[in-house]
Structure 1
Amino acid sequence: MTWYTGNTAYDTVLTVGFGFAAFVLIGGLFGQSPYGRFATAKLGLNLNPKLGWWLMEIPATVVFLFCYLSGPNRFEPTSLVLASIWLLHYANRGWFFPLSIRQVPGKRGSFNISVLGMGMFVTMLHGYLNGTLFSHDYLGQYGTDWLTDPRFLIGLVIYLSGFALLVSSESIVRNLRDKNDPGATEYKIPFGGGFRFVTSPTYLGELIAWSGFAILTWALPGVVILLITAGNLIPRAFATHRWYREKFADYPAERKALIPYVI
């Protein structure tokens, strides 16, 4: 992977991205992002989760499309395929996921404004780096032959495997809460699918998907988002695992935190 593209603005933003990834990796060692079960009111305003997730993820779609459609290669076959993979991910993450959250009626907001701010920064950064790269092809590697390159094909299989695990795991969690009576029980132990092996298959799916994305694009923006995702989700997976074990006396003893049969 080449570091510099030769475009000063792009390379500067990419450098900022790696700097922020380092910040997240270090910060993850000291605490969890304050949303969901780790929400806190100490850092100011908390939002409704549906609104918070949607506002945080929407820049990924908007910024990506703006940057992508402004590039000279926007109608090239490989660029269109890469853009489709991107839009598939954020159709789920930015639209379907937040709008399908089943909330306990009357529950206080659990999505902290600090998470929204940092999340919007990441999704704008992510959208700019990839939308611009796909439609400008600074590295000169996205000709039609890229679609048969082993790196693209292997990365695509890895990405789709992770995405499938992510979506199926989110569905299991969502269906723990009856849509006709979402306030009946706030938390339950999830079973089936990836939950047979780990506490956080959604996090594992996200990590696998972005690993595949970094390979199929073979470019540093994919590495940036993988590092940011890892810095956020890996510590959170272990904290979630501890939380379930403390909350439920009958939590499956054989279930690992993040990697099946390992940890």
Structure 2
Amino acid sequence: MAARCLQSPVLAGSATFAALGALVLYYAEPSAYGKHTESLIPMAISLPARTAWFLQELPSFAVAVGFLALQPHSLFAPPGTVLLCLFCAHYFYRTFIYSLLTRGRPFPAVLLFRGIVFCIGNGVLQGYYLTYCAEYPEEWYTDIRFSFGVFLFILGMGINIHSDWILRQLRKPGEVIYRIPEGGLFTYVSGANFLGEIIEWIGYAVASWSLPALAFAFFSLCFLGLRAFHHHRFYLKMFEDYPKSRKALIPFIF
């Protein structure tokens, strides 16, 4: 399969995601959904949160599953197949579990469209690379990069899922009020859910040791890290008793 790899699209796609991450930091404005919907135009078209999140996350899962079907099937799956399965596992959770359980606010259609385009592009980039371009030695499964990367991915996904659960418990069905999240890594940071996902994609980048995965991890760090900062600022303004020792994203540091 590696012989059919076209490096130019891979390099272009990776550069695009890295550039998008840099642009996110440059503009430094919160995306207008969830807590930050006050920056939206009042008449902006919005969809219910569950519907919007499902439609946004589904392309990444569907595209990755499509590429997974092209992977060679054998008793011992090659590393590329395992890595693509990890990618699918994250987006299975985001598509079929998180989206159906979330109690968030209506999601603006324009941001949904952007999210769908991003998810399609990223799914194609990661799936194409792991299907046609990735070449790993037979001993990759015992390589420290693979082992440590998978460990980070699983750790991050666990943090992300647990943090999402804590956030859901703060609000009863139909409520739109905000409360201070407590427990888990929320004891130390305001963006525990974002930190978990960042750790996931850093682990994925280490385990795959590839430019597309690194570009996606960088974008995730920029976008979700900035999102955590805006959430932290929001909490500090809204709650006078918000824990002063709590940081935005990195415990005890930032």
Aligned-residue offset at 1:14 = 4.1
Q: Determine the C-alpha separation between the residues in 2 that align with 1:87 and 1:26.
A: 27
CA gap 1:14/1:61 in 2 versus in 1, 3 angstroms = farther
Q: Where does residue 106 of structure 2 map in the other structure?
A: 110
Structure 2 residue 179 is the aligned partner of structure 1 residue 188: yes
Q: Which runs of 5+ in 1 are unaligned?
A: 104-108
Larger proportion of helix: 2
Query: Shift of residue 70 of structure 1?
Result: 2.9
CA RMSD of aligned residues (A): 2.2
The offset of 1:129, in angstroms, is 2.0
1:60 aligned onto 2:55: no
Is the aligned partner of 1:121 residue 2:117? Answer: yes
Q: Does 1:18 align with 2:15?
A: yes
Alignment of structure 1 residues 2-151 onto 2, 5 Å: 7-8=5-6, 11-30=8-27, 31-39=29-37, 40-42=39-41, 44-71=44-71, 73=72, 75=74, 77-78=77-78, 79-102=80-103, 110-136=106-132, 138-141=133-136, 143-151=137-145
Note the C-alpha offset of 1:210. Answer: 0.4
Give 1:246's match in structure 2, choosing from 229, 237, 247: 237
The alignment covers a number of residue pairs equal to 248
Letter in 1 for 2:158: A
Following TM superposition, by how much is the alpha carbon of 1:166 offset from its aligned partner in structure 2, in angstroms? 0.7
Are residues 1:228 and 2:219 paired?
Answer: yes
Partners of 1:221 and 1:116 in 2: CA distance: 23
What whole-Å deviation, never above 9, does each CA across 1:149-169 have from its counterpart, x for those lacking one?
Answer: 111001111111111111110
CA distance in 2, matches of 1:212, 1:25: 21
- Structure 2 match to 1:106: none
* Corresponding residue SS for 2:206: helix
Structure-1-length-normalised TM-score: 0.86
8 Å contact from structure 2 (residues 65, 88) kept in 1 = no
Q: Write the mapping of 1:188-227 to structure 2, written as runs, cut at 5 A.
A: 188-227=179-218
TM-score (norm: length of structure 2): 0.89
Cα distance between partner residues in 2 of 1:17 and 1:47: 30
Q: Kindly tell me: are residues 80 and 7 of structure 1, through their superposed partners in 2, closer, same or farther at Cα, counting changes over 3 Å? A: closer
Hey, what's the Cα distance between the residues in 2 that align with 1:29 and 1:139? 32
The DSSP-based 3-state class of the residue aligned with 2:182 is coil
Distance in 2, matches of 1:34 and 1:5, equals: 43
Q: Is the 8 A contact 2:103 2:171 kept in 1?
A: yes
Structure 2, gaps ≥5 residues long = none
**Do the aligned partners of 2:180 and 2:242 also contact (CA within 8 Å) in 1?**
yes
Matching residue of 1:170: 164
1:32 to partner: Cα distance: 1.5
State the identity as a percent. 29
Whether the 8 Å contact between 1:69 and 1:135 is mirrored in structure 2 is no
